[in-house]
């Protein structure tokens, strides 16, 4: 593992802004002093993802995950800690100080990280060959220039050239210290019959990036005439590259997609680059394949609207219809824009000025369902049987839309377009939805009975109270509060009494002293570890810097701390105040909250002690039995006093 200096880590944490980093991956909306958005870890329709710029903490209430800027990158991009730091350093132009990896550390590197290192090297090598080798400049660079690609675009998309030699990349990579097995596992090198050769020999190269900018694979186009060679060639499936889970250009487009709240979807690599050059940067490519659910989820993190751009010929129009079901099922808005016959985004952009391209997109974009209804209506206009089939087709498309209101609007609109009554379409839709419901997995009757008869899970009171203690330490540990407390004392006869007294103390001191006095150890391991860590910080008079504190925690503890800190922000998600439901601010009642937590914990522990004593009476002799009962009475009296202070009635 790469060792990064502490000073670099500190600078990264001081510089990185959580809302900026997460905003590259998730579409965030301002919500009071915070930001909210759809969870990037689950498929949801109501925002449950909260980002606090002031606290530099994020919390996903749907999955329970949470933490700081580094933990987000580790969760979302599956980075290691050093990779996350280096990613942030690159984003904020921070120089990274690191020690050289030893041979042992290189061998210990994970398979995925080794593969990423190889793909990064290959991208750099291909780019260098394009601009520095004579072959690359004469063949690759001249081709890109003929297509109208600017130097800026070539650099932005890291375009390159693979020399027309059997082992050019393989030799360069092995000479640089990379192991052949990783070249083979990424598909850059092919091993056959004991020999190795470059997969992309003699091709111009289009690196494919993940959302965070890591090179996962490549697309290569051959330029010379060769009937035995495929025109386009992609990296094979691997640990780092799954074609169905990546979109070409998403890394370069993500911020623009979120800003424009729309994603243009095209077919090819050159389509994406030409659109960028026309000033339309919210565009990605599915690389010539039908859109998959995983790809839709990537887009949905940034926007709820997709606009499909396709060729204007018959084949292009049919291509526009295929594969849209998965977008509609995700509840997204889909529009379509078709170019004139014989044109695709690449050729159209090259023939028109940027302003003309933008105007065309605005004027020619139509709702997909309306587009499909019109297209099918024209196809079956003079053929009754075909028209009946088209009605079924369009209604089946509408049936995929989760939102009932949108379905009804589309039915009304399509009835007018297809010149058929709404009743017929609504009836057909109802039949399809009913059939769909029947085909959905059904819960067995026996399982339903088990669910109904299952006992309700009992609330673990001690867990709740211990969580409150950690909450108090995290949020207000160093706050000094005054409150009326009670001191446990015994009279001359040995009876335990509670004496009221006024106390002023810091929250962490009060908690520590009370737990010490009662000889209580937190029962939950995570709480216990957090308790000792927090006390150590406060006792040493150190400030609790949340970003640094989270770094020292396990993933489970980090999520727990984030959850506690962001609990108050959860009220914002539900907008309780607008619904006239007032949530008390805990900060205004720290003393009361602390006092109630300690008193409740004492009551719980006393009840447990009473239970233990009662169990002892079963096997005790008469004399011991009486002594135990007297002790029980003392504890019952103590509990009664505590309960009265909690304004509770004991039965």
Cα–Cα distance list, 338 to 171, 288, 365, 367, 570 (Å): 46, 16, 8, 12, 44
For the stretch 508-565, pLDDT in tens is: 888 888 777 767 788 888 888 888 888 888 887 777 877 667 777 776 787 788 878 8
pLDDT of residue 442: 54
Distances, alpha carbon 327 to alpha carbons 161, 261, 298, in Å: 35, 16, 12
Whole-Å CA distances, 566 to 11, 72, 249: 25, 15, 34
Q: Which residues of 350-386 are buried (b: 16+ CB within 10 A; e: fewer)?
A: eeeeeeebeebbeeebeebbbbbbebbbeebeeeeee
The whole-number pLDDT of residue 320 equals 60
- Domain at 110-241, CATH from 3.40.50.150, 3.30.70.100, 3.90.980.10, 1.20.1050.10: 3.90.980.10
- DSSP state for residue 420 in the 8-state scheme: -
pLDDT of residue 497: 60
Strands of 203-209's sheet, edge to edge? 160-162, 203-209, 215-222, 232-234
Q: Judge: domain 3-102, CATH 3.90.580.10.
A: yes
Task: Enter the tokens of residue 17.
Answer: 């802004």
Burial degree of 128 (CB within 10 A; 0-12, 13-18, 19+): middle
pLDDT at 569: 59
List, as one string, the DSSP characters of 548-612: HHHHTS-HHHHHHHHHHHTHHHHHHHHTTGGGT-PPP-GGGGHHHHHHHHHHHHHHHHHHHHHHH
Tell me, which fold does domain 461-575+585-645 have in CATH? Answer: DNAb Helicase; Chain A (1.10.860)
Boundaries of every domain in the chain: 3-102, 110-241, 369-439, 461-575+585-645
DSSP string, 65-110: -EE-HHHHHHHHS---HHHHHHHHHHHTTPPPPEEPPPHHHHHHS-
Listed residue (176, 174, 181, 219) closest to 200, CA to CA: 219
Nearest Cα to Cα of residue 566 among 22, 62, 57, 29: 57
Q: How far is CA 113 from the centre of its chain?
A: 21
* Token pair listed for 632: 């029980």
Question: pLDDT under 70 in the chain at which residues?
Answer: 1-2, 98-110, 288, 312-323, 379-382, 440-459, 483-501, 518, 547-548, 555, 568-588, 614, 616-651
User: What gap in Å lies between CA 204 and CA 222, rounded to an integer?
Assistant: 7
User: How far is it, in rounded angstroms, from Cα 599 to Cα 642?
Assistant: 6
Helix-then-strand count for the chain, H and E = 31, 20
Length of the chain: 651
The model's pLDDT over 457-468, given as tens digits with 9 standing for 90+, comes to 456 788 888 888
For 43, left (φ over 0), alpha (ψ -120 to 50), or beta? beta
Give the residue carrying structure tokens 């910080």.
Answer: 537
Q: What is the CATH number of domain 369-439?
A: 1.20.50
CA-nearest of 334, 330, 333 to 320 is: 334
């Amino acid at each position: 593992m790469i060792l990064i200096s502490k000073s670099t880590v500190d600078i990264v944490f001081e510089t990185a802004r959580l809302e900026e980093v997460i905003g590259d991956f998730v579409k965030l909306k301002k919500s009071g002093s915070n930001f909210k958005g759809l969870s990037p870890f689950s498929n949801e329709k109501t925002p449950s993802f909260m980002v606090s710029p002031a606290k530099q903490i994020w919390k996903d209430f749907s999955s329970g995950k949470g933490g700081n800027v580094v933990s987000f990158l580790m969760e979302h991009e599956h980075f290691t800690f050093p990779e996350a730091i280096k990613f942030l350093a690159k984003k904020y132009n921070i120089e990274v100080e690191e020690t050289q990896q030893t041979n042992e550390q290189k061998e210990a590197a994970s398979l995925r990280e080794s593969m990423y290192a190889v793909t990064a090297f290959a991208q750099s090598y291909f780019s260098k060959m394009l601009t520095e080798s004579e072959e690359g400049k004469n063949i690759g660079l001249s081709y890109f220039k003929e297509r109208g690609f600017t130097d800026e675009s070539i650099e932005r998309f890291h375009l390159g050239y693979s020399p027309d030699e059997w082992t050019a990349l393989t030799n360069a990579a092995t000479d640089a210290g990379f192991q052949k097995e990783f070249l083979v596992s990424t598909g850059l090198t092919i091993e056959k019959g004991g020999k190795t050769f470059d997969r992309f020999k003699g091709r111009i190269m289009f690196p494919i990036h993940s959302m965070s900018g890591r090179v996962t694979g490549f697309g290569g186009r051959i330029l010379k005439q060769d009937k035995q060679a495929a025109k386009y060639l992609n990296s094979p499936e691997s640990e780092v590259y799954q074609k169905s889970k990546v979109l070409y250009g998403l890394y370069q487009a993500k911020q623009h997609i979120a800003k424009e709240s729309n994603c243009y979807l095209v077919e090819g690599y050159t389509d994406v680059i030409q659109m960028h050059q026309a000033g339309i940067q919210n565009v990605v490519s599915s690389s010539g394949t039908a859109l998959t659910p995983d790809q839709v989820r990537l887009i949905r993190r940034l926007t709820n609207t997709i606009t499909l751009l396709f060729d204007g010929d018959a084949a292009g129009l049919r291509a526009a219809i295929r594969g849209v079901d998965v977008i509609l099922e995700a509840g997204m808005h889909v529009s379509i824009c078709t170019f004139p016959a014989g044109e695709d985004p690449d050729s159209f952009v090259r023939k028109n000025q940027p302003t003309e391209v933008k105007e065309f997109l605005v004027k020619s974009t139509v709702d997909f369902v309306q587009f499909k209804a019109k297209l099918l209506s024209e196809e079956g206009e003079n053929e009754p049987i075909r028209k009946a089939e088209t009605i079924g087709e369009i209604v089946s498309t509408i049936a995929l839309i989760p939102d009932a209101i949108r379905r009804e609007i589309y039915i009304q609109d399509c009835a007018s377009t297809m010149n058929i009554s709404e009743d017929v379409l609504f009836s057909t839709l109802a039949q399809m939805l009913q059939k769909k419901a029947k085909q959905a997995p059904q819960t067995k009757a026996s399982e339903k009975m088990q669910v109904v008869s299952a006992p309700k899970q009992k609330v673990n009171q001690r867990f709740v109270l211990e969580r409150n203690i950690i909450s108090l330490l995290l949020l207000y540990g160093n706050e000094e509060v005054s409150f009326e407390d009670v001191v446990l004392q015994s009279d001359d006869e040995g009876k335990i009494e509670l004496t009221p007294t006024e106390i002023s103390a810091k929250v962490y001191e009060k908690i520590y002293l009370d737990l010490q006095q009662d000889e209580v150890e937190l029962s939950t391991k995570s709480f216990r570890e957090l308790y000792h860590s927090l006390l150590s910080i406060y006792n040493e008079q150190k400030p609790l810097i949340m970003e640094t504190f989270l770094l020292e925690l396990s993933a489970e503890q980090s999520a727990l701390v984030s959850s506690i800190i962001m609990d108050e922000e959860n009220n914002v998600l539900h907008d309780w105040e607008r619904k006239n439901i007032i949530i008390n601010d805990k900060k205004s009642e720290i003393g009361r909250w602390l006092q109630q937590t300690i008193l409740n914990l004492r009551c719980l522990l006393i009840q447990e002690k009473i239970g233990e004593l009662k169990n002892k009476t079963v096997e005790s002799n008469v004399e011991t039995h009486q002594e135990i009962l007297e002790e029980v009475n003392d504890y019952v009296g103590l509990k009664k006093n505590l309960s009265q202070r909690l304004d509770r009635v004991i039965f």
